[in-house]
Amino acid sequence: MKPPTYRYVFGARISAGVNSTVVSFVAMKYSDDGILRAKRFYTSKDEFIKVLSGYWPSPFNPNKIDHFKENHVIGGVFVNDTIRVEVGYCPSLDSLWKIRYSDWPFHGKNEAGWSLNKMRPSLKQEEYLAKRYNIKQLDFDYIVDTSFWKLLYDVSDSTWIENYKFIQ
C-alpha cells in the first residue's frame, strides 16, 4: 500500500482583520481525495514567506519547495550573516492591500492604493476580482491555489495595475 500523497495550497485574504492586519494568509493541506486535512492561518507575512520559500521546515511545505521560484514570483528570504537576521521579502505581498484600498488604511504610511473607493474596490473592480481569482466575497474569501499565484504575478505587472485602476 502506497503512502498517502497531499496537495499543499496557499492563499491570502485582503480585508482588515485582527491585530490591524490588512492581509492575512493561509496554508492548507488536502488529501488525494480532495479532503481538507489541515489548515494554518498566518498574520505574519515574514513567517508565511519563510514557509512558501521552503526556508523554514513546515508541514505545509515538507519538501521545502521554493514556491516563489516555481511560480515565477519575486520573493524569498534575505539572510544577513553580519547581523544575523533573516528577512522574508516579496514585493507582491506588500502590494496586495492596494487592490482593496485607495490609500493605506492606517496611520503611519502615506501611500496610494489602486481601488477606486476608499475602503473597498468599486463594484466593477470587485466583479473583476471575483471572476479572475475565483472568489465570491472579498471580505471573507481567501484567494487560493493557482489564483493566489496569478494574483501575486498580476500585482507586480505595471500594465495589469494601470488597467485595474481604471476598471469602472
Q: Is residue 1 assigned to a domain?
A: no
Q: Is residue 74 assigned to a domain?
A: yes
CA distance 50 to 30: 21
Report the number of distinct structural domains present in the chain.
1
Predicted confidence at residue 19, as pLDDT, reads 64
Quote the cell numbers at residue 12: 491570502
The distance of Cα 108 from the centroid of its chain, to the nearest Å, equals 22
CA distance 22 to 96: 9
What is this structure's pTM?
0.91
Q: Is residue 128 assigned to a domain?
A: yes
Q: Is residue 66 assigned to a domain?
A: yes
Provide the domain limits for residue 80: 6-165
Quote the cell numbers at residue 10: 496557499
The overall longest dimension of the chain from CA atoms, in Å, is 58
Q: What is the pLDDT along the chain (168 residues), one digit of tens a residue?
A: 777 789 999 999 998 766 668 899 999 999 999 999 999 999 899 999 999 999 998 999 999 999 999 999 999 999 888 888 888 999 999 999 999 999 988 877 788 999 999 999 999 999 999 999 999 998 899 999 999 999 999 999 999 999 999 998
